Amino acid sequence: MYKIEVPKEEIVKRIETNLMTDFVKISAEDDPTQFCIMPRKFVDQDLERVKNMEIYEDDIWVVTYPKCGTTWAMEMIWMINNNLDYETSMTVNLEDRFPFMELIGIATGFPTDTFEYCKNKPRPRYIKSHLPVFLLPDQLWTVKPKIIYVARNPKDTAVSWYHHHKHMHGYQGSKEDYIQAFVKDLMMYSPMNEHITEFWKIRNEPNILFLFFEDMKRNLDQEVKKTMIFLDKNYSQDEIDKLCKHLSFESIKDNKMVNKEVEIQKLMEASGRDPASKEFSFVRKGQVGGYKKELSAEENEMLDEYVNCSGLEKAEFEYKF
């Protein structure tokens, strides 16, 4: 079903960390153009059990390439589908309400089997994944639960993913090496273009909602209403206004149940760093176009070339900046 290879490019070893290591290329045997870079631990521990996972019609999944607004979308979706339960939202960690399925398969040092935790959650289950279409559970495409996919332009994604990899995974290499690995589709969960465009191709399926991070930034009210319709929920404009305030960047950044303070401390401890350090905030800037202040001319040019190879004709799909 799959072909597992060790990438030959030397840069792969330079972007690995003690938390995320031994990257391999997982390809579909019947279609080698479908591939994904993952730690070998995922292959050994999660690959088959994820593919064979039992799916229920009332599941709700959020799938994204990393750093595309996943956490923001999760909080929005959970709130909408749980009758705007602010009390639980402010007292129960989002990672417990909406767990990250394959985390146990990509990182070392975690005592909880996140796959089993997701599998055994009371229904309706809320599940987050960064896996591409061909690695997700087979039953997703037959049982057809609701799936919300969020896309973001690669330049902002690459910059955010770099900061995440550096501060949460313990990456100590250069930004230039990281960007080179990203555009060569050698970073974990890459290739990004295909990750997004494979979901774009199935966006019109009735159980799939395709959102853009940029649309959420520019008109959150509109995207909340779109998600409400998808989840068969109806709220007044006053309730929507209150929810949008709850979902604002400032509110999310200060909400300890959403901003991953606990997870950051655990990751820093696992990588041997001081968990009391305040060098990084998971909800960092949340900007559209923030890459302009962080990329060198050479890095920007490399990403321009990457964006221009989006995998679909521009008339059909184009990243939003």
In the sheet with 23-28, reading across from the earlier edge strand, the strands are: 2-5, 23-28, 31-39
Nearest to 275 by CA among 285, 286, 265: 265
Nearest to 135 by CA among 290, 2, 295, 7: 2
Tell me whether strands 23-28 and 31-39 are parallel, antiparallel or unpaired: antiparallel
Identify the bridge partners of residue 37 per DSSP, sorted by sequence position.
25
Which tokens go with 299?
Answer: 């890095």
Element holding 230 (H helix, E strand): helix 220-230
Whether 6 and 24 have beta carbons less than 8 Å apart is answered as yes
**pLDDT of the residue at 314:** 52
**pLDDT of the residue at 284:** 47
**pLDDT of the residue at 287:** 73
Count the neighbouring beta carbons within 10 Å of the beta carbon of residue 189: 22
Nearest to 82 by CA among 228, 253, 252: 228
Rounded to an integer, what distance in angstroms lies between the CA atom of residue 73 and that of residue 265?
A: 23
Catalytic residue, candidates 130, 163, 167, 246: 130
Walk along the chain (321 residues) in steps of 10 and give the mean pLDDT of each run. Answer: 95 93 95 94 96 98 97 97 95 94 87 93 97 98 98 95 88 94 97 94 97 95 98 98 93 80 61 54 64 92 86 64 75
Residue 309 φ then ψ, to 5°: -115, 50
Architecture of the 2-307 domain: 3-Layer(aba) Sandwich (3.40)
Rounded to an integer, what distance in angstroms lies between the CA atom of residue 289 and that of residue 275?
A: 30
**pLDDT of the residue at 283:** 53
Q: Is the entire prediction scored with pTM above 0.75?
A: yes
Known catalytic membership, residue 163: no
**pLDDT of the residue at 265:** 63
